[in-house]
Chain A
Amino acid sequence: MSQIQHQTVINQMKMKERVDSPWMDMWRRLRKQKLAMIGGFIILFFILLAFSAPLLTSYSYKAVELPSRFLPPFSEGHFLGTDDLGRDLFTRIIYGAQISLRVGFLAVIGSVIIGTFLGLLAGYYGKWVDMLISRIFDIMLAFPSILLAIAIVTILGRSLTNALIAIAIVNIPTYGRLVRSKVLTLKEEEFIIAAKAVGMKDSRIIYNHLLPNSMTPIIVQGTLGIATAIIETAALGFLGLGAEPPIPEWGTMLADSKDYIQLAPWTVIFPGVSIMLVVLGFNLFGDGLRDALDPKMKL
């Protein structure tokens, strides 16, 4: 998050040469929102876990140790217990965090880039370009996203990368439509008309004026989108279409352990709770961000 924020701050400053950045303003308002900050902490916590995974555990996430299967939580050496193949659950959860976060971020970045590009084109040029792109979005939105994702993975073949690609593709219209509608209103603004009047090239108008001014809704939607992407990855994994074993993807772990829900409930609970927490974190944070960034909400 901070990466994007930082980058945008620089862009913003370069462009407008303003010292009193609106981003500082936003941060002030964001800090006041308790829920958003809780969400932020949850995200930060999982990011830290994911990055320091090799330091936090001495186990491998794939080493099968059959004699020590189904050890309950708080057993010696296994903080969260072990799964049906005797693998340390804590190790798998934190390596799983790496995977979920990575897939979440990458999928959103992918759909944001393509969606924004298409949205800018559709919004700026209008006419048949708009017609074509918007109808494609409509068609894609006509399918339930998970169904479309399943179809794409089935065509591409089962793997984590393909699941990522599928999730990125199904979310393109969300961002595309957002940017398009933003551009439609921006186009009528005086500074754009002025830019056109002085004969600025289309590409410069799009890149220097329209893009930076559509960033705010994208950032909000993107943050919420990470939550969606993580859930969709887990859903695909749960259906056996995501990560191939032994990759410790949370949804796959959930599916693998569901047979043991009576015998070893912790093998289901921990991956499930992890998914829930991360998604909750992104949703709370994204909601807070929207409130903080929306000028109409300004006190």
Chain B
Amino acid sequence: MKKKGLYLLFVLIFTMSVSLTGCGGSKETSGTGQNTLIYGRGGDSVSLDPANVTDGESIKVTKNIYDTLIDYQDGNTELIPALAEDWESSKDGLVWTFHLRKDVKFHDGTSFNADAVVFNFNRWMDKDNAYHQGDFPYYGYMFGGYKGDEGHVIKEAIAIDEHTVEIHLNFPQGPFLSNLAMPPFAIASPAAIEKYGETLGEHPVGTGPFVFKEWVRNDKVVLEKNKDYWMKGYPILDQLIFKSIPDNSARFITMQSGEIDLMDGVNPDDVTLAKENPDLQVWLRPSMNVGYLAFNTEKAPFDNVKIRQALSMAVNKQALIDAFYNGLAEPAKNPLPPSLWGYNNDIVDYEYNLEKAKQLLAEAGYPDGFTTDFWYMPVPRPYIPQGKKIAETMQSDFEKIGVTVNLVTEEWAPYLEKTGNGEHTMALLGWTGDNGDPDNFLYVLLDKDNAKGPDAGNIAFYKNDELHELLIKAQQSGNIDERTKLYEKAQEIIHKDAPWIPLVHSTPPLVGKKNIDGFIPHPTGSDRFTKVSFK
């Protein structure tokens, strides 16, 4: 009889645990009253050395510890001065001169000057540099490789005087300034780099609004106010804590109970509850992302454009948005989000038409459909908060035209690795823009240069020479009108070839306490808390 009791207990625990997840946790972190902001998020940072990471959870934190030469405006990707007060370029676009801000100090007390900037540039680009410890992936993506590589954009960085730096390019790069404003190209203290070397990621030292204090892995990162910040009167908060709570609904329950002050990764359905709650407010992050279904164009039957077009006609995007985004997204017809310049609004999306889809399948030689695998991501992403549900819905959609898909998933890291190697037939994925330049979407995600594993950005493995020419031409041009035309043409080609079904551009919701003031979500997904305060 004892055993029965035990089983009953187990069943009870099993059903109850669902409702109780997240009720635990201690209160200790919200001790210091209204000048500490606790930001709840889904995952821990990988490293706090921004030059050596690509994940959003790391950059979210380093954005508040470090400054870049140029920064984005609050809420959009217009460029504003940061560590560089002013800049100009030579006529041919090959020499850029930056005039640096004076009297700026790193958190360790050393001075920020031209030598520090040159030191950082050399660390990023020169594989022979003693401090080039790590992969520096973003540098490679944005500046065409490293010193000595054929496509490498930057020739050298030279300190002209204490507060002037010249950067010489091998050839002009259209998005050069936008790239420099990206958080990975933040200036770290040379003294700290020399001191910590490889472990800089655990001891970040920058010039930013907050000073690193403590990092408890898988729990929290604690930052404190930088009292000598160069922007006078800021930051307002005394302390900023990034707390990891992986489960979306558990995090929301913690938010409701007031243990955290602000959270991202809100389940779209919880937004309704947040709006009804008088203590909470909801922000929408401006959309600069795309969620898509990529066909592996190297594998049959997706090497056939008609099949890709047929499936594009079998997805009801608006229904997906109503159900899984609480309406907080718009259907995508291009890989580019509409907020970016260069967006081609003349493109007419494939209509939702099952009859036509079936007809196309028949023309392609599959009148009875076919069976294939459909990969979906296991974790909520800002562009696709519920991969599994979307996959199940699309599975049901595809079945209507006779295409049977088996749903496949992996843990997040192997998922990225395997799709990056082209092991999938079709896969859900997405992208949040880093710098507001169309190049950051089209070249990274659809150019043939990036259609090779491992870590292919172009997981459709879509290779089109005409497109490649347009994208390279646009990359090397400094004229925005010319670039706009090239990108518009590029989107036409992509639309016709349908290597993806672009699904949505979402506006990821954030929820916070009603009395938070001055918080403006940034489209890149990493926010500055310099001007945030409690009312």
Contact = CB atoms under 8 A, between A and B. Distances in A.
Contact of A279 (B7, B18, B322): B7
Contacts of B270: 259, 262-263
A216 B389 CA distance: 46
B30 to A, nearest CB: 22
Contacts of B409: 158, 240
Contacts of A66: 319-320, 322-323, 393
Given A66-B319, A261-B19, A85 B14 contact: no
Interface in A62-79: 62-64, 66-67, 69
Contact of B392 (A235, A246, A254, A263): A246
Interface in A263-299: 263, 268, 272-273, 275-276, 279-280, 283-284, 287
A89 interface: no
A261 B393 contact: no
Nearest to A269: B15
Interface residues of A, number: 38
Contact of A64 (B269, B322, B396): B396
B4 A258 contact: no
B1 A275 contact: no
B389 A84 contact: yes
Nearest to B269: A263
Contacts of B226: none
A62 B396 contact: yes
Contact of B4 (A67, A259, A284): A284
A280 B8 contact: yes
Contacts, number: 96
B21 interface: yes
A96 to B, nearest CB: 15
Interface residues of B, number: 37
A112 interface: no
Interface in B388-412: 388-389, 391-393, 395-397, 406-409
Task: Determine chain B's interface SS by DSSP, over half rule.
Answer: helix
A241 to B, nearest CB: 11
Contacts of B353: none
Contacts of A64: 392-393, 395-397
A258 B14 contact: no
Interface string A196-240: 000000000000000000000000000010011001001100101
Which of B270, B392, B406 has the most chain A CB atoms closer than 10 A to its own CB?
B392
A258 B21 CA distance: 10
Interface string B310-330: 000000000110110000000
Interface string B337-356: 00000000000000000000
A224 B392 contact: no
A273 to B, nearest CB: 8
B407 A235 contact: no
A245 B407 contact: yes
A197 B272 CA distance: 80
A129 B44 CA distance: 51
Interface string B1-37: 1011001101110110011010000000000000000
A244 interface: yes
Nearest to A268: B18
Given A62-B396, A245-B407, A275 B15 contact: yes
Interface in A16-68: 62-64, 66-67
B265 to A, nearest CB: 12
Given A62-B396, A258-B21, A283-B4, A244 B407 contact: yes
B273 interface: yes
Interface of A: 62-64, 66-67, 69, 84-85, 158, 224, 227-228, 231, 234-235, 238, 240, 244-246, 254, 256, 258-263, 268, 272-273, 275-276, 279-280, 283-284, 287
> Shortest 6 CB-CB distances between A and B: which pairs?
A64-B396, A272-B15, A66-B323, A276-B11, A259-B249, A64-B393
Given A245-B388, A275-B14, 14 more contacts: A62-B392, A66-B322, A67-B319, A84-B389, A227-B7, A228-B7, A234-B14, A245-B395, A258-B249, A260-B269, A262-B273, A276-B12, A283-B4, A287-B3
